[in-house]
Amino acid sequence: MTPKIHVICSDQARNGKTLLSRIIADELTLIGREPMIFDAEFPSGGIRLYLPERTRLVDLGKIGGRMAMIDTILGTSPRDYVIDLPCRLLVETFKLLEQIDFIVEARKAGFSTIVLFIIDRQFSSLRAARQVYNGGQFDRYVPVRNLAVGHVSDFSQVHNLYGEIAEDGEIVLSLLERSILNFLEQRGFSFSAFMMNHYDPLPHDIRRPLRSFLNDVFAQLRDIHGRIEVSGLRRMGLV
Amino acid sequence: MKPTLILVGADKGGVGKTTISRALLDFLTRKNVMSRAFDTENPRGTLHRFYPTITEVIDLHHVGDQMKILDTLDTVNVRLTLVDLKAGNLGRALDTFEKIGVLEAARAGHFDLGLIHVIGPAIASMDEIGELAKFMQGVNYVVARNFVNETSFFEWDPKTYKRYFARMKAQDEIDIPKLNEMAYEQVDLSGVTFKDFIDNKAADGTQANFSFVLRGYVRRWCYEIDQEFERLALLQNLFTQRAPAAAAAE
* Closest CA in chain B for residue A70: B213
Output the pLDDT for position A90.
Answer: 97
Contact A100/B212, CB-based, under 8 Å?
Answer: yes
Reported as a single tens digit per residue, the pLDDT across A38-48 is 999 999 999 99
Closest in A75, A100, A105 to B217, CB measured: A100
Q: Chain B residues with CB inside 8 Å of A75's CB?
A: 209, 212
pLDDT score for B151: 42
> What beta strand segments (E) does B102-243 contain?
112-119, 140-146, 172-176
Residue B121 confidence (pLDDT)? 65
Per-residue model confidence (pLDDT) at position B77: 87
- pLDDT tens digit at each of 250 positions of chain B: 789 999 999 877 778 899 999 999 999 999 999 999 999 988 888 999 999 999 999 999 899 999 999 999 988 889 899 999 998 888 899 999 999 999 999 999 999 999 999 887 666 666 677 778 888 888 899 988 888 765 445 555 666 666 666 656 547 889 889 899 999 999 999 999 999 999 999 999 999 999 999 999 999 999 999 999 999 988 887 877 555 455 455 5
Among A6-15, A165-174, B66-75, top mean pLDDT goes to A6-15
* Chain B positions in Cβ-Cβ contact with residue A67 (cut-off 8 Å): 211-214
* pLDDT value, residue B74: 85
Q: What pTM did the predictor assign?
A: 0.84
Count contacts between A and B (CB, < 8 Å). 34
A76 at the B interface (CB within 8 A)? no
Does the interface ipTM go beyond 0.90? no
Contact of B182 with chain A, judged by CB distance below 8 Å, is answered with: yes
pLDDT tens-digit readout, B43-63: 888 999 999 999 999 999 899
Task: Find the closest chain A residue to B219 by CA distance.
Answer: A100
